[in-house]
A and B are shown apart, each in its own frame.
Chain A
Amino acid sequence: MGPGTYRLILGIRSLAIAAFLLLIASPIALAVLRLIGVAGANPGAWIETLDGNYMSAGAIEFTFLQSILSSLATISVGLPVAWLLGRYDWRMQSMIRAVLTVPFVMPSIIAAMGILTLTGDSALGIRSDEGTWFWTLIIAHAWFNMSLVIRFCEPILATLDPSMEEQLRLLPAGRTISGRIRHLWLPVLIPPLSASFCMSFVFSFTSFALVRWITIRDNTLESVMAISSPSAGIEGYMAFTSEIVLASSLIQFAVLSASLWLASRIQRELQRQYPLAPARVARGRFDYGWVFMAPALLFSIAPILSVAIGSVRVRTVESGRVADTWSLDGWEVARDGSFSMVPLSDAMANSILYATISLVVSMPLGYCIASAIHSLEGTNRRLSEALDFATMAPFAFSAAMIGLGVTLGVTKLDPAAFSQFWPLPALAHVMLTTPFAIRIMLTGLRSIDREYDETARVLGMGPLERLTRVRIPLMKGPITVAAIFCLAMSLGEFGASFIVATNSDWATLPLLADSWRGMPMNPLAEAASNAVATALAVMAILLFAAAERARSNERGGMF
């Protein structure tokens, strides 16, 4: 490689890293500075306010409690399913896996609407008992995160070299089931289970849409931040909200950083442990397996189905009597919109546009940064690790903090942009999707044998030719998966958009579903909300199906 080309590549990569810092780090830094300017730089006082304010009191305990219980529930539900899926052969195996993992790509607002409908009067009828709300939230989180356990555990269960178990059976310690659990399955499964516990914990910890709709009066730190956001960062006005936001984000940052670091360590361990077969090992069928698998499949699709059914069920009240009728009225009002609600097509157009911007920005940026980290791994390991960690950092900021970063950060630079620059929500989406794109493509780059690149170089190919003729074809799978994840994440994004999209013309599908659900005195509100959520679910499922087709990596992991 000539020095000119080397400098060009270095320049592009440096530019990408600078852009990443500018786009992602600077809004958050500006927001934090602004909040500190209002609240003062006393973390002790922030946390005291957080715990002492009626609006946020108990949020710390509630967040930890529900996250831990949700993660345990996720493992309890996910592990048996992963076991069944990994240890036995099933008809339509990939279809079953896709159905079981589809909840993870469902936008949280769909989960919220689906669970509300499922627990409501027309289905389980337990919603009117406030005592059920907490456990409903836990189960909702388990539904949402179950696929993490499947993604982490099932590949190991499916591909673990069968000779290990056979050999263990011959040994005294492996003759009993408990012995085999103790000496084989626990050591094998503890890393993926710990990784899925950590990730479930992270997602439950930052839960917003589900908490907003299911537990209502109990707040997570994330929902406290969202509630406090309108008046945060304003000098001389309700300064306590700035303290609450700072305290919440500080705790979140510390907890999420630790969890993500732990998950990443465990994942690294996971990649280098047990002898695995090159492909799935045929293990035969489980005669009564469907007794367990059918409820699991039902559990996976029930909230999505209930959203779809809820979109055509309209509640009518006549002379104090409630009756359900079936009609497309909910779809019609959602389609037409009203003064308060944008039409479904507008929200869909916004969602698609924001997703497209996220894709167009996150993918090249993600690729450049991933390739910078990858090439530094061979030359400067410490710098590569630092960069790797820096690109993981946005994961430790919740969507609400990113939303606040955009609103407070951008309004500091140009307040008018807050209400007039329509692509603004896309900036928040880019901040959320770019780290995912980096992670997926970095994994892809690491999986490419360096010899291919080296051989191409020896054959005289230039950097661009190697990129287009070697790397991109080899990276087709990860690139497609990353692209689809960018689109899916942006389409379903709720927390940050809730804060950023103040201009009602910018409403996205998740925001529209949320607004319809909250509309008082309208008998069609629930059906309309479900109609919007159904449209969103269909888009998410189509993207998920495309991702499944592109996914070539059978080793599992979150993506």
Chain B
Amino acid sequence: MNFENKTGKIGRTKAVALTIILMTAAVTGCLSSESENDNSLVIVTYDVYALSDEMISTFENQTGIEVEMVKLADSGSILSYLIQQKGTGANDLAIGLDNTYLQTAIDFDLLSESQTDIKGISSEAYSPYEGKLAIPFDMGHICLNYDSSIVDGVNLSVPTSLWNLTEEEWRGKVALPSPMSSSPGRGFMLATLDYFEYTTDSYHGFDTWWSSMRDNDVIITPGWSEAYEIHYTGGYGEYMPGYVGDAHITVSYCHSPGVEAWYNGNWTKSASLDLDRASFFQVEYASVVQGGNAENADLFIEYLLSPEVNALMPTQNMMYSVLEGQDLPEEGGYRHHSIVPDQNANITSMAISLNIDAWLDRWNSAMTEGE
């Protein structure tokens, strides 16, 4: 840099000052500007596979709206991010909040009502939440999956109760994602609350079961993928690098065996375990973010819920479509190997929002105390 200009030494000072101002700007954020472009749409999401390149490009071409993504780790991270960004107007649409996090987002006043009037969404998809602050776009049932080649009644018995998993034959052979850091893990923990018939003052069964699982060397992983890919013997993980394969039962979706079969030419050794109230019905939502560009967000919601896009959920996103009349495809044994549980756990979104901290506390105590 040549400092020998007509201002002499002041040039140097200016250069230093400019550098500092530039970096100070980073700290104060004064160089940032809220999205003022009517032709843009900022979507906060995680790796929702339904949002493919092709799908986004089609939307951009159809509407002229430029899509920008903020991609986070999971549903919980979306909620945290929205809370931190509250009031900035920087984000327009959140895709991927599920019914375990939705009510908290509503309580924090993070979402705006959608003005869309989308027809054809099934009553089942609306069952956890019927309002306009969140529009369902996919769904599925979280339940236990087991490796039917090992859990075959000879080597290991198919559990008929969650208590079976606390028995010696299951020692160290169950991998569950943590409810602290995983949505399916949280869904399953919520299911166990209902399964053990908790009441407001008694968590006896819930606490005892989780403590017993801990004593039976249950493998708790940070996320679903570690449990399913690294530890579970029944899934595609055995073909992945880093596979350990020490667990024959894990938490996934009740239609995960169908996905396995669909990928493997109608063959899978994974099966879902249908125990009453040991499964959790999960719905994922698209929501207009408070202070964002609601018009563009609604356009995307309409597009996401259009039959041609939403019908592809089972193959693009490995989840059920929320539209009436849509089901999993027959091809590749997808539907054949997927079950719909007879009775999901019955825990309302409101109850989750009110009690989730206390429940996570109880789970934590059960898993850590008396070790």
* Chain A residues within 8 Å of B, Cβ to Cβ: 8, 11-12, 15-16, 19, 22-23, 26-27, 52-55, 57, 116-117, 120-122, 127-130, 216-217, 227, 230-231, 233-234, 237-238, 315, 317, 320, 322, 338-340, 360-361, 364-365, 368, 407, 409-411, 413-421, 423-424, 426-427, 430, 464, 502-505, 518-521, 526
Contacts and interface: CB of A to CB of B under 8 A. Distances in A.
A55 B17 contact: no
Interface string B210-242: 000000000111100110111000001001011
Interface in B56-96: 56, 68-73, 76-77, 80-81, 83-91
Contacts of B104: 237
16 contacts: A8-B9, A19-B24, A22-B20, A55-B180, A57-B368, A122-B241, A230-B73, A339-B53, A340-B71, A360-B19, A416-B88, A417-B26, A421-B26, A423-B26, A464-B12, A505-B69
B23 A418 contact: no
A234 B26 contact: no
A424 B220 contact: no
Contact of B71 (A409, A421, A504): A504
B81 A421 contact: no
B13 interface: yes
Given A16-B16, A54-B367, A427-B23, A415 B180 contact: no
Contacts of A365: 19
A504 B243 contact: no
B28 interface: yes
Contact of A427 (B26, B42, B87): B26
Interface in B137-189: 178, 180-181
B52 interface: yes
Nearest to A122: B241
A416 B85 contact: yes
A237 B108 contact: yes
Given A217-B220, A234-B83, A361-B23, A502 B72 contact: yes
Closest CB pairs A-B (n = 4): A414-B29, A417-B29, A504-B71, A417-B32
Contact of A339 (B51, B70, B84): B51
B337 to A, nearest CB: 16
Given A52-B368, A231-B76, 18 more contacts: A12-B12, A19-B24, A54-B367, A121-B241, A217-B219, A233-B84, A238-B80, A339-B52, A407-B84, A415-B86, A415-B88, A416-B29, A417-B32, A419-B91, A420-B32, A421-B31, A427-B23, A504-B70
Residue from A410, A418, A521 whose CB has the most chain B CB atoms within 10 Å:
A521
Nearest to A526: B241
A96 B43 CA distance: 51
Contacts of A120: 241-242
B241 A116 contact: yes
Contacts of A360: 19
Contacts of B49: 340
Contacts of B221: 216-217
Contact of B32 (A15, A57, A416): A416
A504 B222 CA distance: 22
B27 A27 contact: yes
A127 B241 contact: yes
Contacts of B357: 238
B90 A338 contact: no
B202 interface: no
Nearest to A317: B239
Contact of A420 (B13, B35, B80): B35
B77 to A, nearest CB: 4
Interface residues of B, number: 77
B98 to A, nearest CB: 16
Contacts of B87: 415
A419 B47 contact: no
A413 B53 contact: no
A21 to B, nearest CB: 11
Contacts of A361: 19, 22-23
B245 interface: yes
Contacts of A121: 241
Contacts of B89: 416
A503 B69 CA distance: 7
Contacts of A518: 225
Contacts of A521: 236, 263
Nearest to A233: B84
B300 to A, nearest CB: 15
A424 B90 CA distance: 16
Contact of A416 (B51, B90, B243, B245): B90
Contacts of B364: 52-54
A393 B280 CA distance: 48
Given A54-B368, A216-B222, A230-B81, A15 B27 contact: no
B244 A502 contact: no
Contacts of B76: 230-231
Interface in B230-289: 230, 236, 239, 241-246, 263-264
A87 B181 CA distance: 52
B80 A419 contact: no
B358 interface: no
A27 B181 CA distance: 26
Nearest to B367: A54
A23 B241 contact: no
A504 B81 CA distance: 14
A520 B49 CA distance: 11
Contacts of A26: 27
Contact of A410 (B29, B72, B263): B29
Nearest to A316: B239
B23 A217 contact: no
Given A230-B76, A238-B357, A503-B70, A55 B12 contact: no
Nearest to A30: B27
B246 A419 contact: no
B29 A502 contact: no
A414 B28 CA distance: 6
A53 B363 CA distance: 10
A419 B70 contact: yes
B27 A427 contact: yes
A360 B22 CA distance: 11
Given A57-B368, A427-B26, A502-B72, A315 B91 contact: no
Interface in B1-34: 3, 9, 12-13, 15-17, 19-20, 22-24, 26-34
A465 B220 CA distance: 65
Contacts of A504: 69-71
B246 A230 contact: no
B28 A413 contact: yes
Contact of A127 (B24, B32, B56, B242): B242
Contacts of A127: 241-242, 244
B15 to A, nearest CB: 8
B27 A410 contact: yes
Given A22-B27, A217-B220, A340-B71, A54 B83 contact: no
Contacts of A411: 84-85
A518 B53 CA distance: 19
A2 B49 CA distance: 67
A430 B42 contact: no
Given A26-B27, A340-B47, A419 B243 contact: no
Given A130-B246, A216-B226, A409 B80 contact: no
A415 B290 CA distance: 14
Contact of B17 (A8, A15, A52, A519): A15
B314 to A, nearest CB: 14
A290 to B, nearest CB: 33
